[in-house]
Structure 1
Amino acid sequence: MLKASDFHRGVERLGELIAEARVIVPFTGAGISTETGIPDFRSPGGLWSRNRPIPFDEFVADQDARDESWRRRFAMEEVFAAARPGRGHRALATLYRAGKIPTVITQNIDNLHQRSGFAADDVIELHGNTTYARCVGCEARYELQWVKTRFDQEGYAPDCSVCGAPVKTATISFGQAMPADEMRRAAEMSQRCDLFIAIGSSLVVWPAAGFPLMAKRAGARLVIINNEPTEQDEHADLVIHQDIGETLGPFVGN
C-alpha cells in the first residue's frame, strides 16, 4: 500500500497523464463497483467462494442447474437494483463527456457505466450484462421481470417463447465463448489509445487480461489502479494500490 504522500503524488501524476492524453481507454473490473455494494465474485469471501459457478454447458443441459442459476440471480436482485454508480464510474463518465474517453472496456456485468452516463454502444462488455436476459439459441431479449413471473408461476426456469432454447442472463458463463465483436472492439481500442487505465481488475482472467499489455506494446502509457498488486504492475508507467473511489474521486465533475 502506498504511503499517504506517495498516494497523493500518484493521483497528481495520474492527473498529468490524463491531461497529456488524447485518447484514454479505461478497462474496469469488479473493484470499481465494490463501493456501490456489489460484491466481488472471485476474491476470498466472494460469491464464487460460497457458490460454485455453474458452467455454460451444465446450464444448457440441466433444468435443475438453470433453476439454481436463476434462484441465485433473483436473490441478488435487490443488490443490483440498489447499486448506484460510484466515484470511479462518475469520474470516468466525466472524462467521457469531456471527449477524453471514447469507450470503456469492462469485465463487469452490472450496467453501472451506462447508468453513469456512457452510451450503451460505448460500453464494451466483455462478460455481458446481468440486468436483462437472452435466449441462448436465437438470442431473443427478455426482461428479468418476464423470467421472474414465469419462474414463479411455473416453478422452473422458462425457455424461449420463440425457439424453445434456454433463457439465461445476458452474461458470459464459464465455458461460454467470449463475444467476438466485443473482443475485436476492445483490441482495436487498446491499440488506438495513448493512455490505458486498468481499474479494479486483478488482471488474471484471460484473454481479457491481455488488453493492458496490448496497449503498452502499441505505445500507450499504462496505469494500473487496484487495491492489491497484479502480475502486470511491473509493466505499468504508474501503479496506485489504493481504494478506487479515493483515487478517482478528484476527477469527478459536476
Structure 2
Amino acid sequence: MTLVAILSGAGISTDSGIPDYRGPSGVWREDPEAEKLVTYDFYMADPEIRRRSWLLRRTMAARNPEPNAAHRAVAELERSGTPVRVLTQNIDGLHQAAGLPARKVLELHGTAREVTCTRCHARSSMDEALERVEAGEADPACTLCGGILKAATVMFGEPLDPQVLADAMAIAKGCEVFVAVGSTLQVQPAASLAGIAAEHGARLIVVNAEPTPYDALADEVVREPIGTALPKLLAGLAAS
C-alpha cells in the first residue's frame, strides 16, 4: 500500500488555539523578543528569560488545546489502513491526542509535555514542573541535581536528535506521497525533508496559507484553510 508521510508544522494547530510563529500574525512578528524564550543561549544565561518562559508554558497549558479536524483527519487516514507516518515540527502532542499511535509520530523538535534537566538530563512531566511554578517557583530547578530545567523541546541553537532526524529522512526517501501541511518550510533541517521526498520520486503536496520555498517542487499546492482542505485531501488518499 501507498506510504503517506505527513510533515506538519504550526499551521495545523492554529485551529486548536495554538498560535503559529512566522505567519502574518505569528508570535515572532508580534513580539520579536519572544524568540529569546526558546533560544538556548538566552534561556541558559538569563533567569528572567526562564521566568518568562515558564509563565508562557503555564499560560499555554491553561488553554488545554484539543485536536482539531486536521489532526483527526490524519488519525482517520491511519485507521483506514493506509500506512501513515507523521513527521511533526510541533511540540504539542495533538497528533497523539487525536488517536494516532505514538510510534507513528516522529517529534522532530521534541515535546512540550515533558521537561529535561540540562545538567543530568533526567526527564519528568511538564505538569509536575508547572505545578511547582503555580506554587511560587519562578524558575524550578531539577529536583535530582539542582540543574536548570527546560521543556524537552529543541530550542533555537540546539541540534535535532540525530536518530529522530535519520528516521525522518528514511521515511521521506521511502514514501510514495509526502504532504507538507501548515509549515513555512523554512526551518532546516526539517524543511529539507520535502525536497528529499520529491527527489526520491514521492508525490509532493504542500498545504499552507503562505508560499513556501518548496512550492516549485510540489505536484500540488493547496492554499485553502487547513481545517477543511486536509480532511478532504486525506479522504481522497484513503480512497485511492
Instruction: Give the TM-score normalised by the residue count of structure 1.
Output: 0.84
Aligned 1:170-185 pairs, distance under 5 A: 170-185=152-167
Gaps of 5+ in 1: 1-20
Q: Aligned residues: percent identity? A: 38
Structure-2 separation of matches of 1:204 and 1:84? 26
Structure showing greater Rg:
1
In the alignment, what sits opposite 1:27? Answer: 7
Structure-2 separation of matches of 1:99 and 1:233? 29
Describe the SS at the equivalent of 1:117.
coil
**C-alpha deviations, 1:231-251, integer Å up to 9, x for none?**
211111111111111112334
Structure-2 separation of matches of 1:150 and 1:200? 33
Aligned-residue CA RMSD (Å): 1.8
Q: Which amino acid aligns with 1:64?
A: E
Gaps of 5+ in 2: none
Describe the SS at the equivalent of 1:170.
strand
**C-alpha deviations, 1:69-127, integer Å up to 9, x for none?**
11121122222x1x221111111111112232332001111110001111222211111
Structure-2 separation of matches of 1:145 and 1:77? 8
Single out whichever of 149-158 and 83-92 deviates more from structure 2: 149-158
Aligned 1:1-254 pairs, distance under 5 A: 22-48=2-28, 49-50=30-31, 51-54=33-36, 55-79=39-63, 81=64, 83-250=65-232, 251=234
Describe the SS at the equivalent of 2:84.
coil
Q: Is the 8 A contact 1:110 1:131 kept in 2?
A: yes
Q: Is the 8 A contact 2:113 2:127 kept in 1?
A: no
Q: Which amino acid aligns with 2:68?
A: G
Q: Is the 8 A contact 1:24 1:101 kept in 2?
A: yes
**C-alpha deviations, 1:140-189, integer Å up to 9, x for none?**
22222322233344543111122322111111111111121211111010
Instruction: Give the TM-score normalised by the residue count of structure 2.
Output: 0.89
Structure-2 separation of matches of 1:58 and 1:136? 14
Structure-2 separation of matches of 1:65 and 1:217? 41
Structure-2 separation of matches of 1:247 and 1:142? 37
Structure-2 separation of matches of 1:47 and 1:142? 27
Count of residues in Structure 1 that have an aligned counterpart in Structure 2? 231
Describe the SS at the equivalent of 1:76.
helix
Q: Which amino acid aligns with 2:56?
A: R
Describe the SS at the equivalent of 2:21.
coil
Single out whichever of 195-204 and 128-137 deviates more from structure 2: 128-137
Describe the SS at the equivalent of 1:26.
strand
Structure-1 separation of matches of 2:34 and 2:90? 19
**C-alpha deviations, 1:206-230, integer Å up to 9, x for none?**
1111001101111111111111221
Provide closer, same or farther for how the CA distance between residues 24 and 111 of structure 1 changes in structure 2, counting only shifts above 3 A: same
Single out whichever of 192-201 and 142-151 deviates more from structure 2: 142-151
Provide closer, same or farther for how the CA distance between residues 177 and 243 of structure 1 changes in structure 2, counting only shifts above 3 A: same
